[in-house]
Structure 1
Amino acid sequence: MLVRWGFLSGACIWSVLFAIGCGTTGPDLVAPATPAGFGRIGGGDGENRFGWQKNREKDLAGYRMYRAEGDPAAAYQLIATISRDSTSYTDRNLDYTIQFYYKMTAFDNAGNESPATLPILAIAANLTAPSVPTNVNAVGQNLVPPASISVSWSANPEADFAEYWVFRSVTTPAPYAGTPVAIVPRGTTSFNDTTVAVGTRYYYRVIAVDKGGLKSPGSQSAEVSDVALPPATLAAPGNNATTASLTPEFRWVAVPQAAGYKLIIYADAGGFTQHGTAYANSPATSIIYAGTPLVSGRTYYWRLAATTKGPDQINSISTMWRFTAP
């Protein structure tokens, strides 16, 4: 090409007609190609897993994944920025009842972003029911109104777990179908049943339910039971009586379904200072006290706790009576 005259300026050669060449370039305005082969390739419970072919651009920085709910024309939200070397991505903890639409782009080091792929519909799979709740326990109480039975269990580990269903019955085995007495949300592992009748034993079973409605095997769920006991009726020594010895016998009327009884002797009428305790298993209805010695002439106070789960788990407690050591 004929150039009439020119000059060299820096790294560029200029002519009066046009620039012949230059060693510098302008900004990168070329976006990567749209990722090819984008599609759903599987996924576990509550998951959508996608794959695509790797882009070939040398200045590729990565990929962006977008998601919309319910309608391919809805607004898409960026849910993940993915490294340049990846060719798959898994979207987790999804609701099985929602239709999700996905599209993705590639972007380079200069920030240029490719046109998006066509949207694809992907509904999360629900493959496996939750595991059976473990360490289920029931503890009744009639100490603080209203009488109640507290049911507790260990948390389920599944990522797609949604809630617990608690079933109750006055007969065994407790059901694991029908209408639950309580539905307990994820994150809570107990239910306090305050609709119990004092003296009635209730049987409970806990079922785990996932976001897709699959339930843990109810027939294998542990059944537990307890009862809110009525308070014991004291018999002897009578209220305001003087005992016959410093190792007196304490007697009461049996409480149906009690597993045992805990005698509590106090040094004050407010019940703030315990002097001594003793325990007897059912069907006993008396205890000869042989604990911390009583002091002759001193006034004491006593109550009787009824238990169903051992001496340290008081279920109900009697009124307080007073006696004097001889």
Structure 2
Amino acid sequence: MKRLIQATSLTTFLLLYSGCSNVIDSLSTTTAPKVNQSAPTVNYSSIKSLPDMTSIGFEWQKLDDPRVVGYNFYRTEISKGEKTLKLISKIDSRHATHYVDKGLEPKTKYAYQISSVLSDGTESPTTEAYIAETLPRIKPVAFAQAVSNLPKKVKLLWEPHPDQRVNYYRVEKYNDTLNEWIYLATVNQRLSAEYLDTGLSNSSKHKYRVKAFTFDDVESAPTKVLEAVTKPAPKSVTGLKASNNIPKKIFLTWSASPTNDVVQYEIHRSNYESFGYKKIETVNSNVLEYTDDLKEDGLKYYYKIIAIDKDGLDSTSDLKPVKGESLGKPTKPNLSQASIQGGVAVLNWSSTPRAVSYTVIKKTKQNFFQYKTTKFENISGTSFQDSDIVSGIDYKYSIQAIDEFGIASESSNEVSLVRK
């Protein structure tokens, strides 16, 4: 094994870092070993080491003395100023010549001492302190960015790490509620270079950072904080109007959304002002009107127009709706006078707004259960005389107003007449 770090005495190293002359004397093990001064000691000059980021491998020349049954490894962390040697491993064979110390901190100096262990449980004096240092962490990801203005998502991009020891990346996101960075996702493979954070709210701001991890799960420092904002929803239409004077239809008009990439408008309708809206039609963005064919008079509905952009984002539905109504029936007339004069039925009624003509409905009693209905249409005035009546027969009369669109009002009050 290639020796990468020059061995030196623990005393010399600690003197350089502490300025104390008796540091080696103050070092102590956590348990007092039974030292056999006659036991053979590992040849210090044969010790070699090979560091990694979180481990250091050791090699030494084995001892041939048959009394030796293994070796003890002691360690202290110099970078923290530790002064206590700790037994970190017992190697149960004198033929062993290699050991790997794992779980270390990157770029950290450690001091090691080795003793041989005899069959009676005693051990030799330790070697002089052997100083070894772990390798530094891998460098952070060199370039990374967060892409803004995407619909309900943020795209993270980074430059693949050049270090072939990198196994995967970890994406972290800042949680504003907890005020801390939390795990978001793992992106496997060193050459992978992007991540999509989806399901986000419109116009929301997010913070991220990316760390690279080695095959031994050693992490790099994070990238700089990456910030991005999701795409805003399109702005709502303005000037929505709904008609109330068209028979069997409601006509809607509106002004276009000021958002440039709107591609469609959805028309939503409800019987109620505050809930129950359903989409009834979709039109292209160059269409700013819609006719709702209803087939009935006097129907009332509430409407909202939702703008849809090219990414499928919709404008807020929290809008004040507009009420529309198909043209209702004319007001029914009031049949104010009905009498038999000289064998003629004479009728008079009040005029009705919107009426362009009237219809007189005559019902002639046929028997106990049935009446025959006759209509006299296109009457321009507000009076009517019916001479076709027979003595002793029961007649019933009512009036309907008819507007310019042919919409008939409800029938007026009904009057019964009998010729004597």
> TM-score, with normalisation over the residues of structure 1?
0.46
Structure number with bigger Rg = 2
Ranked by relative contact order (alpha carbons within 8 Å, sequence separation 6 or more), the top structure is: 1
> TM-score, with normalisation over the residues of structure 2?
0.39
